[in-house]
Structures are given as C-alpha cells and as structure tokens.
Amino acid sequence: MIVITAASGKLGAALADAFKAKGLAGQVRLAVRSPAKLAARKAEGFDVAAADYDDPASLRTAFAGAEIAVIISGMGTNDIRTAQHHNAIEAAKAAGVTRIVYTSATNPVSTSRFDWAKAHEATEAELKASGIAYTILRDNSYFANNDPLFANAKASGVLPFTGIDAKVAYVSHEDVADSIVGAVTGSGHANRTYEIAGGEAWSAVELAALLSELTGKEIKALDVPVAAFEEQFRSMGLPEWVATGVGSFYAALGAGEYAATSEDVGRLAGRPSTSARAYLKAFA
C-alpha cells in the first residue's frame, strides 16, 4: 500500500493519474482533509482516507498498513509547514511505514532567497535523522506557476518577470508525478536525493521569444521588481505570508537559484522532462 498525503492539489491529481496509468490505483490510498472532494477517485479503484497534517491521529490511521508514504509538502508559514511535516513523519514511523518519499524544492537551504526553503531544509534534516528510509525529490519551479503570466503575455505582448535573463530549469506537474511513481515503484531509491529539474533551462527573455514564435505575436519580457509581484498578490486578497513568500520565490528565480538542469526526471520517469516548447504550445 502506498499513501499520498495532501492528495487533492494539482500534484496530487497528477500523481493519481500517473499511478492509474500504471494500473496501480488499487495499491494507492489518497489521504486528504475532505475525502468527499475525491469521491470520483474511488470509482477509479483508489482508496480515499481522511487525514489532516494538524491531526496526528488521522495521519496514523491513514498510514496504517502502508509500506510507502508520499508526503507532499504542506501549506503555511515555515513554522506551520515544519510542524506539519514533523507530524507526518512521526505518524509514518508509528504506523510502520518503511520509506517516505518527500517533495522538497530546489536549493533547500536557509540562505536561499526563497523564504519557504527553510521548511524544506528542516524537513530534509528530520527525514535523514528519522531512521526511516527516505527518498527526497527536490522539485524545480513548475511551468504552471507562470500560467497567468503566459496567458497575459499572449493578450498584452508583455511577459513580466523578476530577473528576465536568469534561467530556470522548469518542470511540469506530470514530470514530478512520473518521477515520484518511478521513485516509489523502482529499486535502489532508498536514502537518495534527486533534483527534479528540466533538462534545459529558460530565461524569461527566451520564453517570450518562444511564445512569440508559437503565437505569431510579438511578446517581450519585462523586468519588474519583486515588490510589484507582492503588491499584485495583496491586491488579490492573499495573506501577507503568501504575498511575501511567493514574492521571495520569484526573487530566488530571478537570482538564478533554479537554473541548474538535471537528468533525474529521465532516470526516475523513464522519459525526458517536458520541454518549454511542448508546454507553451497550449497557449498558442
């Protein structure tokens, strides 16, 4: 049995689809705060269980009988995330889980400009000291993080970004999901850390040029300060910790922290990572 926590988000959905494609739905339990959200998954053969990162008892119940737990990182400030991940690790130990697969992030160090990297750093350290076998997947930025920017660029001719010449080795949710499936079902992945990044890295200038080619409309990259992104998030009604946290992520991208490419998607998923051209075709 494989248990996936926080399974109702974008990555959880992609991961369920990936396991289903492998014919493994019957071996997977999707653990979420509101099981009713995933009622349709039961018809696909998945088990669905209630589990809340803030409720250790619910986690122990969800992990019961599982061999592998896939812990998708939680949401919240660094303190909240670290506590949530601690609860999941302790519950997995109590339930007899033999390996934890954790979705971390590129450059998970406290010196990163990305503020939430601190939670990943703390969780990785706890995992390595837990006594349970682990597999850590450090995910680069998702192409989909920029979907609103890509859509706006098609309409306005402007692709705003912080540090338009800095490269990012983007991945798709499917890249990460297929890599997780490979890490779960394959052998030799215990106590290993993988960099889930694209085989190519792209700057905003290069993405704008590619969008221009694909859409037939001239699109230019525009360098904007992090503060502009933060103000936009505030205007959308997002909490301050979200505005500054996501803003710090764009600062890290613009500083080149996510530029390193990797072949680990190919090693785990058995296929190349998604290309920028293939992803951006949807916007054409």
What is the pLDDT, as a whole number, of residue 31? 97
Of the candidates 138, 183, 173, which has an alpha carbon nearest to the alpha carbon of residue 12? 173
What is the pLDDT, as a whole number, of residue 45? 96
Report the SS3 class of residue 160.
Answer: strand
Q: How many CB atoms lie within 10 A of CB 18?
A: 22
Convert the pLDDT of each residue in 205-222 to its tens digit.
Answer: 999 999 999 999 999 999
Distance between CA atoms of 126 and 86, rounded to whole angstroms?
A: 8
Interstrand relation of 192-196 and 220-223 (parallel, antiparallel or unpaired): unpaired
In this structure, what token pair is assigned to residue 269? 């998923």
What is the pLDDT, as a whole number, of residue 284? 86
Cβ contact 5:33 at 8 Å: no
Residues of the chain whose pLDDT is less than 50? none
Distance between CA atoms of 175 and 179, rounded to whole angstroms?
A: 6
pTM to 2 decimal places: 0.96
Report the SS3 class of residue 112.
Answer: coil
201 phi, psi to nearest 5 deg? -120, 145
What is the pLDDT, as a whole number, of residue 122? 98
Question: Strand pairing partners for 276?
Answer: none
- In the block, tokens 């859509």 appear at 151
What is the pLDDT, as a whole number, of residue 233? 93
DSSP letter assigned to residue 8: T
What is the pLDDT, as a whole number, of residue 188? 97
Question: Strand pairing partners for 100?
Answer: 69, 134
Buried b (16+ CB within 10 A) or exposed e, 58-69: bbbebbbebebb
Convert the pLDDT of each residue in 86-107 to its tens digit.
Answer: 999 999 999 999 999 999 999 9
What is the pLDDT, as a whole number, of residue 145? 95
